Structure 1
Amino acid sequence: MISFVWSPGNPLPAGTGGSENYTVGQVRELTRRGISAQVVTVAVGRDDGRDGFPGVPFLSLPTLAEIGDLDGTVVFVNEPHQVPTRNPAFLILHNPPPIRERERAFAVAGTRVLALIATSRYAAALWASYLDVDVATIDVVYPFAEPCFATRSRPGRPPGRTRVLFAGRLSPEKGVYTLLAALHIDLIEQDADLTFTATTAGADKPQGRIIERLLGEHPAISVVGARRTPAAMAALMADHDIVVMPSNSQYWHETFGIVSIEAQHSGCWVIASNDGGLPETDCGGVLLVDPDNAEALAWGIRAAIASGPFPLAGRRRAGTMFTVAQSVDTLLAVFTRPRAIPPATIVRRLEELVLAPSAEQPHSTRVW
């Protein structure tokens, strides 16, 4: 059994972010292969989000300590909780390192004995520097787009119209304010053939509700409901030409950007901030622009429009990259290969060695 432990005290929401899609997608693919896998939630009972993921096995535990009773492989998602497990446990680092000191202490302490998995080379280097460990000790298992994104048919494009989608969470980290600023640049504002759409993903949080109201008041952007399944998101992306990812780089660095590969598999150009792990998502359809720069975002949109529709051959090629099968193959290889000794274990062994009794001074038994 492979158990993916979601953030304790929180349900797993459908249609809100990459770490959710990654976790559930891994479980789906593992179970398709006949490998037992499940999502584990803690302290939320059966109202833990399972209704949003039909067919995905869930296990609800009352307390964090009960994770220690799980058989098989335990994989913590995002949060490095210090729980003794029957077998060596892993941690998948979807988010960048925290910037506040109280959160830093939790992250450093919790990662001392866990095998670390990052979602991009950028994220691995970032966490290695943060934790002061060798980057080679952090494995990389890339996210993926579900198969439906590459196979969804695209409806006919309205003549002369360009449809732009913001599919990220409604939060400052995802660059939504940069998008709002770009809407008022003349390159965009004066083009009546441009349409913009955003989803309500993240509107379940207080800041998301505020941003949803801001977008709803803007005459140039339509707000549609969050898509709760990969198939529904694939249908929405296939109905657009460009997906924008103006991710914030001031205090948040996108560790990968699953929306980018989903969009390219769907046949969309992607305009993304040249920051974090986003450059690693390029399947042939990414245009990188300066982060936190509304003018650069506007010019990126114009460049994509000038390029015409994303080529069919490019979409087919994109669909062979970052697949769920490739991701799970890599994950299983990580589970089976010999693990590097965690730094905390090395330190503990050195301390034990220092505290060990000194050897007796050698003496001669020779009789004169």
Structure 2
Amino acid sequence: MPALEDVGELAGVVVFVSEAPFVATRRPAYQMLHVPPPLRRQRQTEVAASMRDRIPIATSRYAADLWARFLDVDVATVHVVYPFAEAAFAQVARTTSPRGVARVLYAGRLSPEKGIYTFLSMLHTDIVEDDPSLFFTVTTAGADKPQGHIIEGMVRAHPRVDLVSARVSPEEMAVLVAGHDVVVMPSNGQYWHETFGIVSIEAQHSGARVVASDDGGLPETQCGALHLVAPDDAEALARGILDALSCAPPTPTQRAAAATCFTIEQSVDALLGVFEEPEPVTPLRMVRELEALISLPDAPASVRRPATTTRPVEEVPS
């Protein structure tokens, strides 16, 4: 559409998938909430203002509770629609590791909130430094951003890391994941809380084990091969990797079972179910209804009836 405000003229269901300023719509619009609420006061004010006439849809139960507290609404009014893994992850053929080799993949963006610094610290623990069987792969996802460009230089210089180009399609990503035994998600738990963690379910659909921070929505991504560790703890991450590698790889049956979790069919059905529910009254429309009620003319003064005179009760002689 030519301009953002033109979205307000749409007669059908409007869903904002990314943050957008307030737009007056014919009916309450839906807002996908796939990131945590902002930290800074100015952004908090802006986001809260943009949400005053929108019906929130979170990507996990954790995110629903987080946004309900931020928006000061009942958590029951925040819908939960889980993301899905593309079919390519369940269909890709796995490659076998060479004997005595364990392959670990960090596929998150090169940004602090994704836990890249915890990952780099983990590489310098004695648990990892003294184990030559461990091989680590990191992608350049996020290197196009200023902070990602700086972090890329550090990762590229590390002798234990194989830096590969970021994958740009589900099929390419599925092949990369299927070539590793463990995928790590050391998401930052200090100021950024992963609302879901789609890489976790993609990796489990691909037959890999996942070691992730026990924080945010990551515990909700369990498909049978998820190992949770303390967030922001390099030692815990290192031990979590070894624990995951000590387990047998998921069997074909276990992988097939994992692929039945978080499917596109389940996600679409849940989203359509949200659209079928009665629309709640948003804060903006509640205010408008109250203002309309207040603006109604005063009711006419009631007509007083004349006071009824009562006859005195005659005294009965004794």
Alignment map for 1:1-368 (pairs within 5 Å): 61-364=1-304
**2:50 counterpart letter in structure 1:** G
User: 1:334 and 1:101 mapped to 2: Cα distance?
Assistant: 31
| Structure 1 residue runs without a partner (length 5+) | 1-60
User: 2:147 and 2:251 mapped to 1: Cα distance?
Assistant: 37
Q: Which string of whole-angstrom CA distances, capped at 9 and with x for unpartnered residues, describes residues 9-66 of structure 1?
A: xxxxxxxxxxxxxxxxxxxxxxxxxxxxxxxxxxxxxxxxxxxxxxxxxxxx442223
Give 1:128 deviation, angstroms. Answer: 0.2
2:14 counterpart SS class: strand
State the partner residue of 1:29. none
User: 1:258 and 1:67 mapped to 2: Cα distance?
Assistant: 29
2:108 counterpart SS class: coil
When normalised by structure 1's length, the TM-score is: 0.80
User: 1:91 and 1:279 mapped to 2: Cα distance?
Assistant: 23
**1:304 counterpart letter in structure 2:** A
2:193 counterpart SS class: coil
Conserved? CA contact 2:20–2:50, under 8 Å: yes
Give 1:305 deviation, angstroms. Answer: 1.1
Conserved? CA contact 1:166–1:245, under 8 Å: yes
**2:203 counterpart letter in structure 1:** A
Give 1:308 deviation, angstroms. Answer: 2.6
Which sits farther off after the overlay, 260-269 or 78-87?
78-87
Q: Which string of whole-angstrom CA distances, capped at 9 and with x for unpartnered residues, describes residues 140-164 of structure 1?
A: 0001100110111112221121100
Conserved? CA contact 1:78–1:95, under 8 Å: no
Give 1:71 deviation, angstroms. Answer: 4.8
Conserved? CA contact 1:268–1:285, under 8 Å: yes
Give 1:325 deviation, angstroms. Answer: 1.1
1:73 counterpart SS class: coil
**2:15 counterpart letter in structure 1:** V
Give 1:252 deviation, angstroms. Answer: 0.4
Over the matched positions of the two proteins, sequence identity in percent amounts to: 56
Change (3 A) 1:137 1:242: same
Give 1:360 deviation, angstroms. Answer: 2.6
Q: Which string of whole-angstrom CA distances, capped at 9 and with x for unpartnered residues, describes residues 223-275 of structure 1?
A: 11111000000000000000000000111000000000000000111000000
**2:101 counterpart letter in structure 1:** R
User: 1:230 and 1:166 mapped to 2: Cα distance?
Assistant: 16
Conserved? CA contact 2:28–2:282, under 8 Å: no
When normalised by structure 2's length, the TM-score is: 0.93
User: 1:271 and 1:207 mapped to 2: Cα distance?
Assistant: 25
